[in-house]
Structure 1
Amino acid sequence: MYWLELVEENIIYITIGLACMLIILFIINIILISKQRKLTKRYKKFMQGSNGESLEEIIREKFTDIDILKSDSKKLNQEIEKINENLTITFQKIGVVKYDAFKEMGGKLSFVIALLDKNNDGIILNSVHSSREGCYTYLKEIIKGESFLELSKEEKSALNQAINYKTIME
């Protein structure tokens, strides 16, 4: 009965400890009630005007919309890939040089245009203007940035401009 004597001697401390625990439990209970009310308000606001069936229908519609968006995104990606493939073979690099073909006789009415694709394949178009005889146009093929035919200095200049041309895709 030693423990009974120990309890009787320390009854005040035990009572104070139990009172403190009761106060702590009371505070925790108030906090939980407050949080539960907030959660109930949020739930009521979420469910306002809806029943379980209409909420389920809304969720189904959202999933259907997501499936449609995925399908459209896949189609758009395929179209973008086709566009990118086509861009590699379209003229996207340009070089232009105007010059006087007959040295101060006709003005700078002659010109060279270099048109290249992404791989530096394309053409050089040289238009030589002669005031008496008209205009002569020459076309030279460019493969990988080089011509099999000899190029004039104006044609070389236009070709270099086109090769060094920065495209939007770079």
Structure 2
Amino acid sequence: MDEWYLEPVFMITVGIAAVVILLIIWLSVLGSRLKKLRKQYVAVMGNTGVTNIEDVVVEMKNMLQSQREQIESLQNQLKSVQQAVPKMKSKLGIIRYNAFSDSGSDLSFSLAIVNEEKDGAVFSGLHSRDNSYVYAKPLEKGESNYTLTPEERKAIEAAK
């Protein structure tokens, strides 16, 4: 009797079985790699509801462009604020004094409202027993076309 393992059908069957076993091993390796890749994909995509990564990239690019435009707008606003702040009349100085010797207290005042360059105005209120007078004088670089009193000069210096 011929040896059964020498028959060509048996050899072909064994060969096919070996190939099938190798394919099963290869499929299990590919399956584990695919599972790992799927976990990474879910971690990147999250719960965005988008299944196409290209859509996510395009959306992120659009958001990035929008943020760049907002940053540019904010930088322009910041520049205009930085230019406006030194010109603002935000420095105040006030001096109270007794303008008339017949009054009993320091009811008169000089108020300077200036910016960094000492441009602005100085206001003086003179109070006497019978009347009160208020004067305003424009200032450029701490000086005025009108004569400044010593109290007004003190108020300008106090506004530094």
Relative to the length of structure 2, the TM-score reads 0.66
Show the counterpart of 2:132.
Answer: 135
Matched positions, count: 124
Displacement, 1:104? 6.4
Show the counterpart of 1:93.
Answer: 91
Relative to the length of structure 1, the TM-score reads 0.62
What is the letter of the counterpart of residue 90 of structure 2? Answer: Q
For the Cα contact (< 8 Å) 1:94–1:114, is it kept in 2? Answer: yes
Show the counterpart of 1:123.
Answer: 121
Structure 1 unaligned residues grouped into runs of 5+: 1-36, 165-170
In 2, the alpha carbon distance for the partners of 1:67 and 1:124 equals 49
Show the counterpart of 2:56.
Answer: 58
Q: Residue 155 in 1 paired to residue 149 in 2?
A: no
CA RMSD of aligned residues (A): 2.7
Instruction: Report Cα offsets for 1:91-135 as digits up to 9, x if no partner.
Output: 021111111222362422211111112221111100111121x21
Q: How does 1:19-98 map to 2 (within 5 A)?
A: 41=36, 43-48=37-42, 54-98=52-96
Q: Helix, strand or coil: the match of 1:79?
A: helix
Instruction: Report Cα offsets for 1:15-47 as digits up to 9, x if no partner.
Output: xxxxxxxxxxxxxxxxxxxxxx99x84x43221
For the Cα contact (< 8 Å) 1:106–1:131, is it kept in 2? Answer: no
Structure 2 unaligned residues grouped into runs of 5+: 1-31
Instruction: Report Cα offsets for 1:67-109 as digits up to 9, x if no partner.
Output: 0011111111122222233323320211111112223624222
Q: Percent identity?
A: 25
Show the counterpart of 1:144.
Answer: 141
Q: Helix, strand or coil: the match of 1:48?
A: helix
In 1, the alpha carbon distance for the partners of 2:102 and 2:78 equals 50
